[in-house]
Amino acid sequence: MPNVQPISLLFGVHAHQPVGNFPAVMEEAHLRCYRMFLQTAERYPEFRFSVHFSGWLLDWLISRYPQDMERLAMMTRRGQVEWFGSGDCEPVLAAIPHRDRISQIAVLSDKIERLFGQRPSGAWLTERVWESAVVPSLVDAGIRYVAVDDYHFLCAGEAAGRLDSYFTTEEGGEHLDLFPISEQARYRLPFAPAEAAVQWLEHLAREGHRAAIYFDDIEKFGIWPETYHWVYEQGWLVRFIEGVLASPLITTSTYADFHARQPTRGVVYLPTTSYIEMNEWTLPATAARQYHALVEQEKQAQRFEARKAYLRGGIWRNFLSRYAEANWMHKRMLDASARLAALPAALRTAEMQEFLHRSQANDAYWHGLFGGLYLPHLRRAVWNNLLALEAALDAVSPPAALDRRDIDCDGHEEISLRDDSFLAIVRVDGDAMLAELSSRRLCHNFGDTLRRYDEGYYDKLRAALGMDGKPHAHHEGVASAHDRVAFKHVIEAEDTEADTRARGMFEDCWYATDGSVRPIHHYRETAPLEFTADLGSGRIVKRYALADGRLTARYQTLNVGGRVEIRLNVAMPSCDGYGGRYILDNGDVPCGFGQVLELASARRLTLDDGELHGAFVVSTQPALAVSARPHMTVSQSEAGFEKVMQAAELVFAWQPAESQAELAISIEVIPHRA
């Protein structure tokens, strides 16, 4: 075929594990995916490809598996591998300040150059989140090109037939080149048979395409359900590589080499977007259902491919407005970043910068099929690093013991009070709950929980449940995680009911003598750290104080009958694992956090946690009836629908005297002895 020019296969893989992920999960990812992929690719020096490893994962692999990383270094030296950079701890660059984008990218580029002898010219964009504001940051950090989805270009009106090379964009006169990742390639590799994938590439060559552009998660090659057997045991990867190398119509190339020899397709300006699935996940449940129905309608009418660029959904930042918990973390992180930036250069340390970078890791800030907002250990990693940074900053630039402002931009101020033991932040709104209660010594936020939200994908869950309430979904062959329905736990209908109030500490509810139930969400501030609400013909007053290493909430009632319930949602690291247990005042251990505990009367309850290396102790005066149970949420992941414990939910029942009564609930944290 003398008139057919070989197509350049630009094959890139992205490897990432979230900051704070479980070591066992990372071990499995390496043994079933990273090692296997590298061992296979090593045997074919002519198969050229690009890699991106997030910096935190790369550090872990260097320390744990130096021989496998030397294998990667050898492939780099012989010109088989091109390295892509990005933010060191995999932040969404659009969600952090310009100064932090620069430092994140520089740290990873320096690391790659030091370890592998190559400084990246290209960058992987976390979750392919594109905002034009990141262009100057990338350029200033030495990046010349990035890869984003072809969908981004379709949304800008580009013709699909032109998306076989890179384009050029600019922001404020700074120029950056953009490669459009092929959605068709993402869905074929590695899910279609290897021979069919090679034939598809040859078909593109015959049509005159310059390049087939692929860059996607390496975890699809061994970690996604069923892919280890498919990719390695059944030999998909070997057959694909050998098929590509044997074809006269396909040549492998790095992005760098292709970029050097081909001219740009021209100028392009992309809208703010991410990959098409992400745009659905960012929408609130009602909007997500409407969007999904519209997409399905267009697919059934066979119009979707022609119209999908105009069915855009939401943007990544919607997660911060949709989930109050993600927004709280984000705004607290931005505060810490500003404090670090304001510190004189002589007082800043590399450790401070590392704490900040780790607190910016993307995974805990969002949720969809992937994304770790629903996973407590990933949120905890953000909080651990954020609080460690603040402790380091406090040591050289102490903050005020008391301050107030609207931290999270929700229209309500928050009051922050500090001592050597706690940072307590009270919301000045109708609930007057704690937004955060962080141990400064243990760098742990006990208020880090997550309410139950309605999720659009619950419709898929409910449809997969039969009349008997048991899962009936099944599929054949190797299915993409996007199409798969599976269950890791038994899910009941009530497990997906959304909370009507935020979950925090000192959430109050009045059970009146007439049998009515009235959430107390109309507190008004009547003095500093004092909140008052009218209850029928009476009133209740709640005051917070921080002293002597204890946070105390004091309640007073006047002419209030019935029962007041005070709810504390306490985030404990062990969740429902083996390391967490309740301890009674007499030393008895009735159960763990994952079980239900009912006490008719108690003055002191200890939540002891081996993962925390400490205990959370609640004392009441007078003694109260206590009910404790796990607060669970339901979420989806590539492995299926699962229930995850978010907090130990403690409910204290107080029956105040109808005339006048007082109650004090105190919290202290006791570290374990070394």
Catalytic annotation, residues: 127, 217
Identify the DSSP state of 118: -
SS3 for 227? Answer: helix
Question: Which residues partner with 527 through β-bridges?
Answer: 530
Alpha-carbon torsion (458, 464, 465, 466), positive or negative: positive
Residue 65 and residue 29 in contact, taking contact as beta carbons nearer than 8 Å: no
Find the helix or strand (DSSP H, E) in which 648 lies: strand 640-654
Joined together, the tokens standing for residue 20 give 């704070």
- ∠ CA 474-475-476, rounded to 5°: 140
With the CA atoms of 239, 83, 210 and 180 taken in that order, what torsion angle do they form, in degrees rounded to the nearest 10?
Answer: 100
Q: Which of 223, 227, 98 is nearest to 172 (CA)?
A: 98
Structure tokens at 348: 């800043």
Whole-number Å distance between alpha carbons of 660 and 674: 45
Contacts of 517 (CB under 8 A, 6+ apart): 509, 510, 511
In angstroms, rounded to a whole number, what is the distance separating the alpha carbons of residues 279 and 270? 15
Query: Distance between CA atoms of 185 and 213, rounded to whole angstroms?
Result: 7
Report the SS3 class of residue 603: strand
SS3 of residue 99 by DSSP: helix
Which residue from 635, 298, 648, 334 is spatially nearest to 487, judged by alpha carbons?
A: 635
Query: Which stretches of 327-432 are assigned E, i.e. beta strand?
Result: 402-405, 414-418, 422-427
271 alpha-carbon distance from chain centroid: 23
CA distance 394 to 314: 38
> CB of 168 within 8 A of CB of 177?
yes
Q: What share of the chain is helix, strand, coil (3-state, %, to 5)?
A: 35, 30, 35
Q: Using DSSP bridges, classify how beta strands 505-511 and 250-253 pair: parallel, antiparallel or unpaired.
A: unpaired
